Amino acid sequence: MIVLGCDHGGFELKNLIIEHLKEKGVEYKDVGCFTPESVDYPEIAVALCNEITSGNAELGILVCGTGIGMSMAANKVKGIRAACCSDTFSARLTRMHNNANVLCMGGRVVGPGLAMDLVDNFIFTEFEGGRHQRRVDKITEIENA
């Protein structure tokens, strides 16, 4: 399952992503926000990350104005590897090499077509493991220090 969240800056794009996931038959959960009214993005980021760290979802997608604030907040949660992406190569490689579990995007940075490509590259790409696992393990060591 994919969990989604946004602040007011990502509200419109998150709703387009939900429609895209429905068309692809991908199960999802929306943790908010549910209106375009201003909200504090760290609260949404933590709610989404808790869904992943508790095992309720495998991957998450967070959308704010730039994707940067959500990425910063999400990466404070133990067990989360969030990547802010605005190109398909990075979205694919962050799954393949970094085993990222949260994709962050900017609703004011990427257009709908590119956003759907980012989503597809992120959710349909598997982690390669191998030499990359050693590096992900080192990130976890830093996190646990």
Instruction: Tokens 């992120």: give the residue.
Output: 122
Candidate CATH numbers 3.40.50.2000, 3.40.1400.10, 3.30.390.30, 3.40.50.2300; the one for domain 2-144: 3.40.1400.10
CA distance 121 to 87: 10
pLDDT tens for 3-25 read 999 999 999 999 999 999 999 99
Active-site residue identified among 8, 20, 97, 132: 97
Q: What is the pLDDT of residue 120?
A: 98
Tokens of 42: 């760290």
Q: pLDDT grade, residue 86 (50/70/90)?
A: very high
8 Å CB contact between 121 and 88: yes
pLDDT tens for 52-84 read 999 999 999 999 999 999 999 999 999 999 999
130 CB contacts (<8 Å, ≥6 apart)? none
Q: What is the pLDDT of residue 49?
A: 98
- pTM, whole model, 2 decimals? 0.97
Q: What is the pLDDT of residue 2?
A: 98
Q: Is residue 64 annotated as a catalytic residue, yes or no?
A: yes
Output helix, strand, coil percentages for the chain, rounded to the nearest 5: 50, 15, 35
Mean pLDDT of the 83-104 span: 98
CA distance 33 to 16: 14
Mean residue pLDDT of the chain comes to 98
Q: Helices marked H in 1-145 — which ranges?
A: 11-24, 41-53, 68-74, 88-96, 112-123, 131-144
Residue % of the chain over a pLDDT of 70: 100
Q: pLDDT grade, residue 113 (50/70/90)?
A: very high
Q: Is 90 helix (H, G, I), strand (E, B) or coil?
A: helix
Q: Is 19 helix (H, G, I), strand (E, B) or coil?
A: helix
8 Å CB contact between 14 and 63: yes
Active-site residue identified among 64, 84, 85, 104: 64
The domain segmentation of the chain, as residue ranges, is 2-144
Q: Is residue 104 annotated as a catalytic residue, yes or no?
A: no
CA distance 117 to 121: 6
Q: What is the pLDDT of residue 91?
A: 98
CA distance 131 to 138: 11
